[in-house]
Chain A
Amino acid sequence: MTDATHTGPVLAADGRPLKKSLARALRMQKMRALMLIAPLLIFVLITFILPIADMLFRSVENQIVQKTLPETVKELASWDPMSGQAPGEPVYAALARDMKVAVKAKTHTRLGSRLNYELTGASSLFRKSGRAIKKWDLATDAPFKEKFLKIDKKWGDIGFWRMLQIYSPNLTNGYFLNAVDMQKGLDGPEARPENQQIYIKLFKRTLFMSLVITGSCILLGYPVAWILANLPMRTANMLMILVLLPFWTSLLVRTSAWKVMLQQQGVVNDVLVWLGIVGDSSRLVMINNQTGTIIAMTHILLPFMILPLYSVMQTIPPTYLRAAKSLGATNWTAFWRVYFPQSVPGIGAGSILVFILSIGYYITPEIVGGTSGTFISNRIAYHISSSLNWGLAAALGSILLGVVLILYWAYDHIVGIDNVKLGG
């Protein structure tokens, strides 16, 4: 009780406190481990994280206006859009100077395409004006306002200048507003006209259909995994090939095969007509709609459900079921109370895989989805490769990423991510 040396920290052999010494040794180990994975870490950072971050940044980036028309933007800042008057000569003179530089660098048409997303007609306005401005002499041709109006009346349009003013800053929330069916109005954000609203509907549809696909994967995959897990190893391995076979077949081939199967003159309808179940004139419509997308995607994603289920079920000892039955449980009670709870981690893992994969699916809905079975990814693909509105595509992608993260967080809270097992 009185021995003071025993109350102090425990010392290591070199006289330092053991706790510190241990922490140091562990830190060294961690550093060494980090060094070992450093090449991979740097590779992932440069080839994966950075490009994604760059793409996400595009959803708010809007430097093109200020870069192309720096002086005009400065002059335009003092213009009051409520005045009901187009800006005065200084703005047009600045515009002429900016455009002269832009035409030389051929950046004016690029700005035109950018502004055309916000105001129809900007594209040809800039192309046309560029041709005329090439011939102007900045020193002698003032005043410019009339000259601009002579090229096109749109240069005197208050709506155009207001739009330019709204999109002057280097950062914009315009793409995000557009991605949730809104737009920048005079007094802040406002809803888009009803005949242009589409994205919210597509987000909802994507989530709903992904849930349905996950559900049908569970329903179809669970019995298959159960059979595989309870068969002798040799037979199970043979049957496993059947599950894996679709994995080895091209995605496009599988999707096109569903087209052949499900179309109105397809195999399924032919058989049904031949059996007399449906009339020749009332063949079922099973493709180019939601049904087609759900069927084809369930088939394609089924292995992602079966594999984790199978590996979890394999670890459940069959003796548990026998024990339950010997204690008087019916088949159903034994399954529901004893077996099923132990297979839940497999369902969790499979569901996360299938749901997250299907939420970003693109090619299958494009081929078999028609109009009612397409996903938000189809619009993202359109804006990346056809309309070149990468800002909007990035905003839609960011929202999708956010939704997935929120769902993941919710899942972690409700089920717990520790309860997910991909294997024994």
Chain B
Amino acid sequence: MKLTTTLFATAALAVSTGAAISGSHMANEMTIVSWGGAYSNSQQKAYSDPYAAMTGVKIINDESSAEAVAKLRAMEEAGNVTWDVVDVVASDAIRLCDEGLALEINADTQLAAAPDGTPASKDFGDLLVSDCFIPQIVYSTTFGYRTDMVGATPPTSVCDVFDTKKYPGKRALEKRPINNMEWALLCDGVPKDKVYEVLATPAGQEQALAKLDTIKKDVIWWSAGADTPQLLADGEIVMGSTYNGRLFSVIEEQKQPVAMLWDAQVFDLDGWIIPAGLTPERQARALDYVKFATDTQRLADQAKYISYGPARKSSAPLVGKHATLGIEMAPHMPTDPNNAKNTFLYNYEFWADYRDDIDAKFQAWLAK
């Protein structure tokens, strides 16, 4: 054990002196971690390519966001953080901040102000859900349904998911309690503003599971965002929940007979964090990138490639047409007034506390 400690210490020393000698102000290479697929693609087109062209920085893309929290924790324990900027959902950003694995950011001094001079903290508003989190997009988890399998009266309410008489066939739900428990309570007659109050009690959790139990035999549980679009395209399910951008791609890009059911969509945020403990050069580079990538124009640019809403208020008017399809993107944004008539906001505080407890019950119920 002592030998390895000495070895590690020597190696660390060698690395740090090496870094000190290289001495430039900002690192000229960075690793950006994101989710892969169409989403990473939109980020590369809107942020990374222009940034690389502007600064000449070499950008390495990694697609590990799904395991980002676990990997960052392992990297920190090994004393070797290899990532510079990481794209995570807000709940993961909160946990990374809690664990001391992410850098705290001062929005007003470290992020770009809006073109009209509004400071970043006002421009992002209450989307700055954690001190470490730099919001990027608003996305939603919502339902899509097969237009050719629902008869003459397409579903209009999230409660139609629980109505197997009116809409027979399988449904796809995510294999975790988050969102499903809320929808179940909502459709079991709990008023929207009481949902989390009820869900905090064991009786409320039982109630939600009992409601889900009524459709359990008709549910296919998904764990990857690509599952529901595929199941819809194959006609395996009549409706299913997934991220709104995935449904956009099924409907508009692949022209499948699928439509959106925006009712009771759950808003969630995705954004950047910068790992704690980077060398000063790498940290400066990461901050510089993030400042560029989250300015008003860049966030609006991303919406040309994917139907997720920009997190800045000042970006909304700049959202234009899809880069290749040429259709207006605004009506496809989850934040569009027509789509956002009945919405939830992911309750970060609640799920940070209840996640372990409710997940244990949810998984036990699933295995029954």
Contacts and interface: CB of A to CB of B under 8 A. Distances in A.
B9 interface: no
Interface string B325-368: 00000000000000000000000010011111101110111110
B100 A120 contact: no
A385 B364 contact: no
Interface stretch (A104-112, A237-245, A294-302, A326-334): A104-112
B355 A371 contact: no
Main SS at interface, chain B = helix
Interface string A373-411: 010000100001111110000000000000000000000
A384 B70 contact: yes
A266 B367 CA distance: 25
A265 B234 contact: yes
A140 interface: no
A120 B235 contact: no
A201 interface: yes
A265 B236 contact: yes
B221 interface: yes
| Interface size of B as a range | 35 or more
Given A113-B95, A263-B234, A371-B221, A387 B355 contact: yes
Contacts of B235: 265
Which has the most chain A C-beta neighbours within 10 Å: B4, B69, B223, B364? B364
B235 to A, nearest CB: 5
A424 to B, nearest CB: 42
Contacts of A386: 70
Interface in A338-374: 366, 370-372, 374
A387 B364 CA distance: 16
Interface string B189-206: 000000000000000001
A112 B352 CA distance: 10
A172 interface: no
A370 B356 contact: no
B366 A371 contact: yes
A385 B365 contact: no
B364 A198 contact: yes
A110 B349 CA distance: 15
A166 interface: no
A202 interface: yes
B354 A120 contact: yes
Contacts of B353: 116, 120-124
A387 B176 CA distance: 12
Contacts of B356: 116-117, 120, 387, 389
B4 A388 contact: no
B98 A196 contact: no
Interface residues of A, number: 40
A202 B367 contact: yes
A120 B357 contact: yes
A195 interface: yes
Given A120-B356, A265-B235, A370-B221, A50 B4 contact: yes
B100 A110 contact: yes
Interface in A264-293: 264-266, 288
B97 interface: yes
Interface string A154-180: 000000000000000000000000000
B291 interface: no
A109 B99 contact: yes
A107 B98 CA distance: 8
B100 A106 contact: yes
Contacts of A314: none
B184 to A, nearest CB: 15
Contacts of A120: 353-354, 356-357
A123 B352 contact: yes
Given A265-B234, A265-B236, A127 B98 contact: yes
A302 B125 CA distance: 57
Contacts of A370: 220-221
A109 B361 contact: no
Interface in A71-125: 105-107, 109-110, 112-113, 116-117, 120-124
A231 interface: no
B73 interface: yes
Contacts of B206: 195
Contact of A109 (B67, B100, B359): B100
Nearest to A281: B168
B360 A110 contact: no
Interface string B45-69: 0000000000000000000001101
Interface in B74-102: 95, 97-100
A311 interface: no
Contacts of B175: 371
Interface string A192-229: 00011110011000000000000000000000000000
B98 A113 contact: yes
A46 interface: yes
A69 to B, nearest CB: 16
B98 A109 contact: yes
A389 B4 CA distance: 26
A195 B234 contact: no
B140 to A, nearest CB: 21
B100 A196 contact: no
Contact of A201 (B73, B170, B367): B367
A265 B206 CA distance: 34
A280 to B, nearest CB: 12
Interface in B192-237: 206, 220-221, 223, 234-236
A195 B358 CA distance: 10
B223 A366 contact: yes
Given A120-B353, A120-B354, A198 B367 contact: yes
A388 B92 CA distance: 11
Contacts of B73: 388
Contacts of A372: 367
Contacts of B354: 120-121
A123 B98 contact: yes
Contacts of A385: 66-67, 69-70
Nearest to A105: B100
B359 A387 contact: yes
A388 B223 contact: no
Nearest to B352: A123
A290 to B, nearest CB: 12
Nearest to B354: A120
11 contacts: A105-B100, A113-B95, A120-B356, A124-B352, A124-B353, A195-B365, A196-B364, A198-B364, A202-B367, A371-B367, A388-B70
Given A113-B95, A387-B355, 9 more contacts: A46-B4, A109-B97, A120-B353, A120-B354, A127-B98, A202-B367, A372-B367, A385-B66, A388-B73
